[in-house]
Structure 1
Amino acid sequence: MKKIIGITGGIASGKSTVTSFLTSRGYEVIDADAVVRELQQIGGALYVAIRDTFGPTYFLSDGELDRITFGQVIFSNPKMRAQLSMLQDKLIRDALFEKCQASQSDLVFMDIPLLFEKNYTGFDEIWLVYVPKQIQLARLMKRNNLSQADALLRIDSQMPIDEKCTLATRIIDNCDTIDTLESQLTTIISEI
């Protein structure tokens, strides 16, 4: 029987580090952000839905979605963010679970940043990659070269990470070194 583990956390909490570790150990990881990028490619279902709903303003001359401009607008406009959420939710959910069902692996990890916010279900376990908000903020500002205000807009658009802790099966503490994180993951994997 296939075991499905959801991985989530806050933006810049270290989910990519966790999933890179799992992939390097031969585990299959389905990445929601990668699925979204596929759906947003020219002609993809989400691309068409965004263009039909929001118009050509957020597209580059070559037809590609201008992710930077679109992201800035979406994170600063709650009404547009809600509208986008309604558009993309079913498309993304269906694509993720199609990939999961098509997998030949007995153990599949699904990296879904908004797992709790979007009420995803169907997991045997949910792992939360945890860092306090101040570390999250510093990492996001550095990683994306954002001002504090822009970084906070992105962080605050998600459920507070401390609230997510109460919903997760396992908490993966990512406040220390990568070696400490990998040791923690090795222990958790041996338990499942």
Structure 2
Amino acid sequence: MFIIGLTGGIGSGKSTIAEHFSALGVPCIDADQTARDVVQPGEPALTAITQHFGPEVIQPDGTLDRRQVREKIFADPAAREWLNNLLHPLIRQRMVQQCQQAQGPYCILMVPLLFENHLQSLVHRTLVIDIDEATQIRRTMLRDNTTEEQVKAIIAAQCPRQQRLALADDVIQNGDEVTATQRQQAVYALHQTYLQLAAQHQSHG
């Protein structure tokens, strides 16, 4: 399967772009959703987390209390490392499986921290959704009902914009000046390119 890694900073509109690809019949796999799936009740990872952090990280309905876990790993770098070591390989393995099982000419793997977590090896090509920082801050504050300081802290923890653009094979601009039609046209143009690349990939495979 030919895999496109879709990424971008917080608030860049990755989901919107992924929806345009979905509308063209391209399967889209969301790393954030996969990360939620591996800690569902009944999953081995949830059992391991409960044993490590104690029963207080489980909510009455049996699901993981993300806030509790976040507080624990925020206060303790060793706990964060333990959790990452547990979850990252599981998430990676699950994403690879989902990509292999996807039905379509190629698939999109949407990974917010593609470059930060050095996951480029999972994909054949990278697509970055790009907006300027001021727009990023404003959109995220509106969407997540959060403060400017909090958004700036998240941006600071992510790959710098220039570095992300330098690592990208393809870029879609998604600032406020870009209309919905322009977005769709940009996606459609890339879709044609990806279809050709996917066909070449299959003929070589």
TM class by smaller structure: 0.7 to 0.9
Distance in 2 of aligned mates of 1:49 and 1:132: 40
Look up the match of 2:158. 158
Percent identical across equivalent pairs?
31
Q: CA deviation at 1:53?
A: 2.9
Structure 1: runs of 5 or more not aligned: none
Which residues of 2 match residues 95-114 of structure 1 at below 5 A? 95-114=94-113
Change (3 A) 1:72 1:89: same
Q: CA deviation at 1:72?
A: 5.9
Q: Secondary structure at the match of 2:167?
A: coil
Look up the match of 1:189. 191
Structure 2: runs of 5 or more not aligned: 195-205
Change (3 A) 1:87 1:180: same
Q: CA deviation at 1:163?
A: 1.4
Change (3 A) 1:45 1:173: farther
Deviation digits for residues 62-112 of structure 1 (CA, Å, limit 9, x no counterpart): 2222234544665x5572444432221100000000111122323111111
Q: Secondary structure at the match of 1:164?
A: helix
Contact 2:27 2:103 in 1 (8 A): no
Distance in 2 of aligned mates of 1:186 and 1:146: 33
Look up the match of 2:199. none
Distance in 2 of aligned mates of 1:103 and 1:38: 17
Find out whether 1:140 has 2:140 as its counterpart: yes
Q: Secondary structure at the match of 2:38?
A: helix
Look up the match of 1:38. 37
Change (3 A) 1:65 1:92: same
Contact 1:7 1:127 in 2 (8 A): yes
Contact 2:35 2:91 in 1 (8 A): yes
Q: Secondary structure at the match of 1:61?
A: coil
Distance in 2 of aligned mates of 1:113 and 1:92: 13
Tell me which stretches of 4 or more aligned residues in structure 1 moved more than 3 Å. Answer: 68-74, 80-83
Change (3 A) 1:71 1:174: farther
Find out whether 1:48 has 2:43 as its counterpart: no
Look up the match of 1:90. 89
Contact 2:25 2:104 in 1 (8 A): no
Find out whether 1:130 has 2:117 as its counterpart: no
Change (3 A) 1:72 1:182: farther
Change (3 A) 1:141 1:69: farther
Aligned residues: CA RMSD = 2.1
TM-score normalised over the length of structure 2? 0.82
Find out whether 1:66 has 2:65 as its counterpart: yes
Contact 1:8 1:127 in 2 (8 A): yes
Contact 1:45 1:91 in 2 (8 A): no
Find out whether 1:26 has 2:19 as its counterpart: no
Distance in 2 of aligned mates of 1:150 and 1:58: 24
Contact 1:174 1:181 in 2 (8 A): yes
Aligned length: 190
